[in-house]
Chains A and B, each alone.
Chain A
Amino acid sequence: MENTLDARGLNCPLPILRTKKTLNGMQPGDTLKVVATDPGSLKDMAAFCSQTGNTLLSSQQAGGDYEFLIRKA
């Protein structure tokens, strides 16, 4: 099942905190798409995933947005 989190307009540390909160309500193996505008989220999302065991399936820039696809551990 795919979930989506709109974190546009939010700045550090909210995109990460909201991502964590959304993941908490998901099942292992589910994927979450996060859309953010905070340029810091590019590095932070990778650091968050590597430290929490979740998988960052993709991370890309689309226009002024950053899109992340995460699979919950």
Chain B
Amino acid sequence: MNVAKLQAAAPDTLPTDLAALEAWFDRRLDEKLAEREANKVPSLCVIATKGTMDMAYPPFILASTASALGWNASIFFTFYGLELLRKDLHLKVSPQGNPAMPMKMPFGPDWLKRINMPIPNLVSGNLPGFESLATSLMEQTVKAKGVPSIKELRDICIESDVRLVACQMTVDLFNYRQDEFIPEIAEWIGATTYLGEARNADVCLFV
């Protein structure tokens, strides 16, 4: 449609001289862009690469929260991140190689719960069952503080339509079988498919 036709169609709103016309276009463009932004559904793509209990939290917390905000959310599980999709979750956490992790009692009086008891790696690495102990303490802390378990968060993600996609290559690499993992996995994909999904995401995070 040319300018003359536009002016004929909307004589009251369209200016006639060039400078005014340009200003009008600029204003309309801003309005249109704002309209588009307001109607857009934001999207979140998280890549989950870690298979420990502590590192399982960020992907599930962010994806479930994004979903509660009305966003489209997806998590791509690759390498050790695939552990978070097992039918039987056995995630562990260890202060070994994780020096920032506090070692605190989940129960007892407040003064005791505040004390950090750092265990040297030499001890924690050689003491049989230390990882299980640390995991059990963390699980009790999580429960006592009203933080959901990983299983609970994963169920919420499934319930709220977070798209769970998993890496095909990892399954082949570690000789896993697809039926060891939950059936709610939307798709088994590779890097190319993932990038195709992630390219339009507003927020893309690597965990």
A binding-site residues for B, Cβ under 8 Å: 9-14, 16-17, 19-20, 37-38, 48, 51-52
Task: Give how many A-B residue pairs fall within 8 Å (CB-CB).
Answer: 34
B binding-site residues for A, Cβ under 8 Å: 61, 64-65, 68-70, 145-148, 156, 160
Interchain CB contact under 8 A, B146 and A48: no
Interchain CB contact under 8 A, A16 and B68: yes
- Among candidates B65, B146, B147, residue contacting A17 with C-beta atoms closer than 8 Å: B65
Interchain CB contact under 8 A, A13 and B64: yes
- A and B contact pairs by CB, cutoff 8 A, 16 listed: A9-B146, A10-B146, A11-B145, A11-B146, A12-B61, A13-B68, A14-B146, A14-B148, A16-B65, A17-B65, A17-B156, A20-B160, A38-B146, A48-B68, A51-B69, A52-B70
| Complex-state Cα separation, A11 to B57, whole angstroms | 13
Query: Residue among A14, A16, A19 with the most chain B CB within 10 A?
Result: A14
Residues of A within 8 A of B68 (CB): 13, 16-17, 19-20, 48
Residues of A within 8 A of B69 (CB): 48, 51-52
Residue of B nearest to A8 (CB): B146
| Complex-state Cα separation, A40 to B70, whole angstroms | 20
Q: Which 6 A-B pairs have the closest CB atoms?
A: A20-B68, A11-B146, A10-B146, A11-B147, A13-B65, A9-B146
Cβ distance B149 to chain A, nearest Cβ, rounded Å: 11
Residues of B within 8 A of A37 (CB): 146
| Complex-state Cα separation, A35 to B156, whole angstroms | 21
| Complex-state Cα separation, A4 to B64, whole angstroms | 22
Interchain CB contact under 8 A, B147 and A12: yes
Residues of A within 8 A of B64 (CB): 13, 17
| Complex-state Cα separation, A48 to B65, whole angstroms | 9
| Complex-state Cα separation, A14 to B146, whole angstroms | 8
| Complex-state Cα separation, A36 to B146, whole angstroms | 11
